[in-house]
Amino acid sequence: MGAAMFYHLTQRPLEDTLRLLLEKSLAAGWRVAVRGTDSSRLEALDRALWLGPQDSFLPHGVAGGAQDAAQPVLLTTSDTSPNQPQCLMAVHSADVTAAEVSGMERVCILFDGHDAAALAHARGQWTALKGAGVMAQYWSEESGRWEMKAQSGQPSA
């Protein structure tokens, strides 16, 4: 069973945190689906990811292309992903189910701490996943560095 990691963004923009998490996921050998709720916002993320540091190449694509299944990172609005990811990253208040967490190595839920609607959605996700017995961790960058503030559930043996 996987784990859900909640990332409460207050210091860094989504693009920076997403890039960091994507790099770590790819280094672990995982394929990743980045699930959003709006295709235009995912296209903006796509552009931002291509404009990263010159010494850092982050291979990715937006769903709907001929090579979707081969993408190491696929940005999508769908609840299915043809690249068969081991990690799901939910942005822009995209929903995640307990079954999805169980089927992945890791699920990351990134939310803007300055957006009341995004914060409320993340709290609802936390409550639902916690209620389903999913292992979850809540991480905050309020102090300027990432710190785990809460944990729910136990890792499976």
Instruction: Give pLDDT, residue 154.
Output: 67
Q: What integer pLDDT is reported at residue 155 of this predicted model?
A: 56
The type of residue at 70 is A
Half-sphere exposure of 150 (CA within 13 A, CB side): 11
pLDDT digits (tens, 9 = 90+) for 99-115: 999 999 999 999 999 99
Q: What is the pLDDT of residue 50?
A: 84
Contact assessment for residue 41 and residue 34, using Cβ atoms and an 8 Å cutoff: no
Identity at 110, one-letter amino acid code: L
Residue 110 and residue 107: Cα distance in Å, rounded? Answer: 10
Percent of the chain residues topping a pLDDT of 70: 94
Task: Say whether pLDDT at 156 is over 50.
Answer: no
Confidence label for 157 from pLDDT (cuts 50, 70 and 90): very low
Q: Which two tokens stand for residue 61?
A: 């694509």
How confident is the model over 3-50, as pLDDT tens digits? 999 999 999 999 999 999 999 999 999 999 999 999 999 999 998 888
User: From CA 145, how far away is CA 153, in angstroms rounded?
Assistant: 24
Torsion of CA 104, 73, 78, 7, to 10 degrees: 60
The pTM for the full model equals 0.92
| Tokens standing for residue 117 | 């609607």
DSSP state of 71: -
